[in-house]
């Protein structure tokens, strides 16, 4: 039996969800809801039999709707998602999960109380590249993770209700959340942001996050770059990996390179230790190409059917919100280090 689903929000991201739910054999897309009926009709297509409405209650009154995908503006995610969960439906939420930690915690608790699946549409986590990185890290192919360095920059889109950190950084934070081992998660955030064009919010930002057990993660996000760059470097004690998401021929490069110190030297004498460099070969792992959103809606269906947490479940989204809120606090405090409450709470 297919699962009935509705998409709420037909703006920038909603049509992508409509297309992938429509193409899935697991889902029966019954409704597209948007305040602009014309926009919703455009998303479903001229000759579609999918229901179109501006009335959210009409969606929730349909007993054949088992789940709702929320693609409304970020500031409305909490209210819309809470209504979905209150109605007994499973919820898929576009990033970010909510606007504050308190809101995200309420959504996670509500889903737990109702026995429902709450999933975040952290799309990058379902790309073939990130799946391969996760596989390599889990198989200890890279060794101990020493650092992650991400650049996510482009010209626009300057958002009206969130800054560049809340717009772009969730991608990197969510990727790190699914890729890093449980004992290597970020523990704190130090962030700097700037608004050089007077947009009223940070348009350029730098986030630095120390990792549990040593190591560091860094993200550069920018709405004002003349070029679009989407790269991430994962440095390990055995091998190093470079992911270029915009490359059409070689998205992942795995380098057998590194820096090694003499293990026999005492720590006090390390300053005089001879450093050796490992300069091995580079390989490009083969990737099975599939649209990330297709994999994401398949994971949502599997989580609903199996009554299990999705790869990017509500708690994953909550950890990302903890990091985003801490980054905002750090920016407001001039880059001060803010500890992540998610670590203290064991989320």
Residues 69-108 have pLDDT tens digits of 999 999 999 999 999 999 999 999 999 999 999 999 999 9
In this prediction, residue 225 carries a pLDDT of 97
Half-sphere exposure of 250 (CA within 13 A, CB side): 7
What is the Cα–Cα distance from 165 to 194, expressed in whole angstroms? 11
Question: Tens digits of per-residue pLDDT, 160-198?
Answer: 888 999 999 999 999 999 999 989 999 999 999 999 999
Residue 229 near residue 153 (C-beta atoms within 8 A):
yes
Cα-based angle 180, 186, 190 (whole degrees, multiple of 5): 140
Maximum distance among all alpha carbons in the chain? 75
What is residue 288's predicted lDDT score, i.e. its pLDDT?
A: 85
In this prediction, residues 226-243 reach a mean pLDDT of 96
Q: Does the pLDDT of residue 123 top 70, yes or no?
A: yes
E strand or H helix at 6: strand 3-8
**Token code pair at residue 92:** 């898929």
Supply 319's token pair.
């950890």
- The pLDDT assigned to 154 comes to 97
Q: What is the mean pLDDT of residues 311-323?
A: 97
| Residue 330 pLDDT level (bands cut at 50, 70, 90) | very high
Any idea which fold 3-124 has?
Answer: Rossmann fold (3.40.50)
- Tokens standing for 224? 């004002």
| Domain edges within the chain | 3-124, 125-291+323-345
**Residue carrying the six token digits 């203290």:** 344
Query: Taking residues 11-29, what's their average pLDDT?
Result: 96
Dig out the tokens for 344 from the structure: 């203290």
C-alpha torsion sign, points 137, 142, 144, 145: negative
Closest CA to 70 of 11, 3, 9: 9
Read off the pLDDT of each residue in 12-41 and give the average, rounded to a whole number.
Answer: 96
pLDDT, position 272? 58
Strand 216-222 relative to strand 204-210: parallel, antiparallel, unpaired? Answer: antiparallel
Q: What is the structure's pLDDT at 342?
A: 80
The number of helix segments (H) and strand segments (E) in the chain equals 10, 15
Q: What digits encode the pLDDT tens for the residues 53-68?
A: 999 999 999 999 999 9
Q: How far, in Å, CA of 185 to CA of 52, rounded?
A: 42
pTM for this one? 0.91
Sequence-ordered alpha helix ranges (H) in the chain: 14-23, 37-44, 56-60, 77-86, 101-114, 128-138, 164-179, 292-306, 314-332, 341-345
As a whole number, mean pLDDT of residues 309-317 equals: 97
The mean pLDDT value for 108-114 works out to 97
Query: Residue 20: is its pLDDT beyond 70?
Result: yes
Q: Which fold has domain 125-291+323-345?
A: Dihydrodipicolinate Reductase; domain 2 (3.30.360)
- pLDDT surpassing 60 at residue 262: yes
Rounded to an integer, the average pLDDT of 203-222 is: 97
């Amino acid at each position: 039996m297919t699962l009935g689903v509705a998409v709420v929000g037909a703006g920038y991201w909603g049509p992508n969800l409509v297309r992938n739910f429509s193409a899935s054999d697991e889902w029966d897309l019954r409704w597209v809801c948007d305040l602009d009926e014309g926009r919703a009709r455009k998303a479903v297509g001229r000759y579609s039999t999918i229901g179109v409405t501006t009335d959210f209650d009409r969606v929730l009154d349909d007993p054949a709707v088992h789940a709702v995908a929320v693609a409304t503006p970020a500031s409305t995610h909490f209210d819309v998602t809470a209504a979905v969960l209150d109605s007994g439906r499973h919820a898929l939420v576009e990033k970010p999960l909510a606007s504050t930690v308190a809101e995200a915690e309420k959504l996670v608790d509500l889903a737990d109380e109702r026995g429902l699946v709450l999933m975040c549409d952290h799309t990058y986590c379902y790309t073939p590249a990130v799946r391969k990185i996760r596989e390599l890290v889990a198989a200890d192919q890279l060794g101990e993770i020493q650092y992650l360095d991400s650049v996510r920059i482009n010209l626009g889109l300057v958002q009206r209700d969130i800054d560049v950190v809340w717009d772009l950084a969730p991608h990197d934070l969510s990727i790190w959340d699914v890729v890093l081992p449980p004992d290597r998660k970020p523990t704190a955030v130090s962030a700097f942001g700037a608004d050089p064009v007077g947009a009223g919010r940070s348009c350029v930002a730098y986030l630095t996050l120390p990792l549990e057990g040593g190591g560091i993660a860094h993200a550069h996000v920018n709405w004002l770059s003349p070029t679009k760059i989407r790269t991430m470097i994962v440095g390990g004690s055995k091998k190093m990996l470079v992911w270029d998401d915009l490359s059409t021929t070689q998205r992942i490069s795995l380098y057998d390179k590194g820096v090694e110190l003499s293990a026999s030297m005492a720590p006090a004498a390390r300053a005089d230790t001879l450093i050796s460099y490992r300069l091995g070969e580079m390989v490009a792992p083969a990737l099975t190409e599939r649209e990330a959103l297709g994999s994401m809606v398949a994971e949502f269906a599997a989580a609903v059917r199996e009554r299990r947490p999705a790869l990017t479940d509500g708690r994953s989204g909550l950890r990302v919100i903890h990091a985003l809120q801490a980054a905002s606090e750090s920016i407001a405090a001039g880059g001060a280090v803010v500890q992540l409450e998610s670590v203290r709470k064991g989320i």
